[in-house]
Amino acid sequence: MKSNKRSMFMIILGIIIFFLIAVISYYGYVKSNVDKYESIIYPNIKIQGYDVGELTKDEAIELLDAKFEIPLEKSAITMELKGDEITIPYKDIKANYDINKVVEKAFNYGKDKNIYEKYKLIKKPQEVNLNLSFTHDKNIVAAIINKLQENLNKESVDAKISLIDGNFIITPHINKEEIDKNTILMDIESLIISNRNLNAKYNIKVTEKTPNITTEKLKSIDKLIGSARTKISPGDDGRHKNIELCTNSNNDILIMDGNAYSFNELIGNTTAEKGYVSSKVIIDGKLEDGIGGGICQVSTTLHNAILNSGIIPTERKNHDMPVRYTNLGMDATIAYDYIDYKFSNTLGYPIYIQSYIENDEVVFNIYSNNSLKNRNYEFLQEVYWEKPIETEYIIDNTIDIGDMKIKNPGSIGYKVKTYRNVYENSELIESKLLYDDYYKPVNKVILKHE
């Protein structure tokens, strides 16, 4: 009996020992397999689609650097602006992938599990996909785009025209150039994200803003359409100087279609500081000394040239007395700050005003488009009231007995209507009353002894 019990014990003991040996052997086998992965990444782990399983961290980093970081360093975005190319290398915007961080994550995957769970990950691996994150400095990109505006025209510049030796010289206009920096920034950011291992190209759209005065508009000025001349009376150097100053100020004037001209705004007050001197001016029907005397001849000559060009002034007043240098009803007086001469360009084309002194004459030429020459203008005056000069005697005992002195030669009074006839291709198409002017009579004043 004892022999049987001992045999049973030995059998059980043998089984236990076998089991222990088997367990220890299996554990040793498992551990040896798990230990191999302590320094490498578990199998079937992928980063951005690339298998990094069974690689060390350094090997995984080397693989991913070759696939992503190195190509990135060689890549760039090229922007085209007005035919010029601006290249932005990815390295300049501090572009990079978080390769080290993601490799560390891949390496640590499963390392915190128990030995049997780790063994399972080794023998029956489940695919694990990890993605890289791409980063860059958006502020650098924004700064580059902001700087692009420096290569553009910041402001539009009007075209300019001048008449030199009978030929028009036009300086072309310059358009203002703008870019939509916000849209460009969003587009570039999108390109950076979607093409980060490729050389991408982006064409920058430039919006142009045209100034009011363009080269094309000024090219329409190609013909003399109206002119006028008035003779400067000799013997008054001050008056001649004032006329010359004012005429020069009216030269080389461009008035675009629809724009207005004001004599007073252009000339301003005729002060001694501007070079004007004293000469005779008409004040309340009398000739008196005043700074700037004579410039009404300039406004009158301009008025006649403007009428001959087909423009009817918006503001014009005749003198109190007739003037020698033009017909009744064709003069235009001015007085700074309360009597102006104005007109608006209604011709549909820009006009260019040229003025100068030639052979003691004030000359105004108006240039515009040759299509306006199919019209001609005629101006007729109708004097429907006239009052002769009356003589007034004033006692002045400083005058020698029997002598007389003319203080004011006087002036005939008139009421005059001015008509404009318009001819198109030599056919009368319009007759219009322009002005009904009144020139008040002024008595002749004679000083004599009582």
Flag whether the pTM goes above 0.85. no
Q: How far is CA 301 from the centre of its chain?
A: 37
Q: Could you write out the DSSP letters of every residue in 160-190?
A: EEEEETTEEEEEPPB-EEE--HHHHHHHHHH
Q: List per-residue pLDDT tens for the chain, 450 residues long.
A: 556 667 776 777 667 766 666 656 556 655 666 778 888 998 999 999 999 998 999 999 999 999 998 988 888 999 999 889 999 999 999 999 999 999 999 999 988 888 878 778 788 888 999 999 989 999 999 999 998 888 888 899 999 999 999 999 999 999 999 999 999 999 998 888 887 767 889 999 999 999 999 999 999 999 999 999 999 999 999 999 999 999 999 999 999 999 999 999 999 999 999 999 988 887 766 677 889 899 999 999 999 999 999 999 999 999 999 999 999 999 999 999 899 999 999 999 999 999 999 999 999 999 999 999 999 999 999 999 999 999 999 999 988 888 999 988 999 999 999 999 999 999 999 999 999 999 999 999 999 987
Strand partners, 420: 379, 432
What pLDDT, in 10s, does the model give residues 307-332?
A: 999 999 999 999 999 999 999 999 99
Would you state the pLDDT for residue 62? 94
What confidence score (pLDDT) does residue 27 get?
63
Pairing of strands 45-47, 128-130: parallel
Quote the pLDDT of residue 387: 97
Give the DSSP letter of residue 314. Answer: S
Query: Residue 15 has what pLDDT?
Result: 72
Phi, psi (5° rounding) for residue 185?
A: -60, -45
Q: Express each pLDDT in 26-75 by its tens digit.
A: 566 556 667 788 889 989 999 999 999 989 999 999 999 999 989 888 88
- pLDDT for res 413: 97
| Amino acid type, 285 | G
In this predicted structure, what is the pLDDT of residue 330?
A: 99
Phi and psi, residue 412, nearest 5°: -70, 140
Sign of CA dihedral 401, 403, 406, 407: negative
Tokens linked to 213: 């005065």
**Nearest C-alpha neighbor of 258 from the set 161, 344, 366, 371:** 344
> What pLDDT is recorded for position 384?
98
Q: Is 238 left (phi over 0), alpha (psi -120 to 50) or beta?
A: alpha
Say whether 434 sits in a helix, a strand or coil: strand
Which of 338, 98, 309, 146 has its CA nearest to residue 223?
A: 309
Token digits for 192? 């950076």
